[in-house]
A and B are shown apart, each in its own frame.
Chain A
Amino acid sequence: MIAMIDWQAFTPVSAFSGGMIIGLATALLLFVAGRIAGISGIVGGLLRLQRRDFAWRAAFVSGLLLAPWLWRELGTLPPVHIESNYAILALAGFAVGIGTRYGSGCTSGHGVCGLSRLSPRSIVATVLFMLMGMAIVYVVRHGWE
């Protein structure tokens, strides 16, 4: 099972520079607030409605939600293609909600911040969710065989 790279779809420049921008955002939050830019943790903390830490969490999520609006002010959003139906999306969202809170992080908290910190927990988490994601896509697209 060797990957055939889809050179047509591969966008190395926007991917790497977008990643660097995400890294800069992470550095900003870290340097000023001393916090990990883990989206699931920040949103999860908001749901608990604790007064402490509420303001910076709300500010971060507000900034995140403003991003597509600002992008639209300057140009047009890149096209988005959704393959899953609404029932699958709801099921997936639910699994992501419980899973990220139970496992203490997602692609940003474990994947970006955790790997940057060389955290053993985050390395394990990232490998596991990547492998599981690949397994699910394999089953959905190519069947059990």
Chain B
Amino acid sequence: MLVIIAALFSGLIFGLGLILSGMINPAKVLAFLDVAGSWDPSLALVMLGAISIGFFAFRWVRQRGQTLLSMPLHLPTSHVIDHRLILGSLLFGIGWGLSGLCPGPGLVLAASGQLAGIIFVIAMLAGMAVFDWLEKYRNTHLDHSQQKNIGK
């Protein structure tokens, strides 16, 4: 129960941080990505601010090896830089550059009632659903010898 309450507050605080930082304004994000135009470096400071806290938080929790409630941590373990990571990130970059929106700001913008945010989020959820469907298809249509070569 405590985990659920913490998650709710974490989401709320995260969203407030996104609003304060200016990340929910697509024009501001695009102004950061527009390095050849009149450049707004604000977004770099958003990342720096978040990482300045996150760096110590992750270090501390890793040393501890468990959560405050003595539950196991769920941190990514993979170190493989594969085509999935590369192509997925490039595709995300295309969408981000076209709209100035990434998942978090998109959701907050949609929740604020902006039609642009709602359209973006519906399309994003559709993209995620298509991904799940493709994964399912791939997993059921590959034989075992092929499956061994995928993933790790």
A interface with B by C-beta (< 8 Å): 1, 3-6, 9-12, 14-37, 39-40, 43-44, 47-48, 55-57, 59-72, 77-84, 86, 88-104, 106-108, 110-117, 119-121, 124-126, 128-138, 140-142
Contact = CB atoms under 8 A, between A and B. Distances in A.
Interface of B: 2-28, 30-31, 33-43, 45-55, 57-58, 61, 66-69, 71-76, 78-81, 84-104, 106-116, 119-132
Given A28-B9, A55-B4, A71-B16, A106 B103 contact: yes
Contacts of A102: 84, 87-88, 91, 131
Contacts of A141: 34, 36-37
Contacts of A117: 54, 58, 75
B51 A25 contact: no
Contacts of B79: 119-121
B10 A29 contact: yes
Given A34-B74, A65-B111, A5 B41 contact: yes
A116 B3 contact: no
B16 A70 contact: yes
A20 B18 CA distance: 10
Given A18-B17, A106-B102, A35 B109 contact: no
For the residues of A in contact with B, the DSSP-based class is helix
B145 to A, nearest CB: 23
Nearest to B57: A27
A36 B76 contact: yes
Contacts of B20: 14, 17-18, 21
Nearest to A91: B98
A18 B15 CA distance: 10
The 9 closest A-B pairs by CB, nearest first: A97-B127, A103-B88, A19-B49, A67-B15, A132-B93, A18-B21, A63-B11, A23-B53, A136-B97
A23 B52 contact: yes
A92 B36 CA distance: 22
Nearest to B110: A65
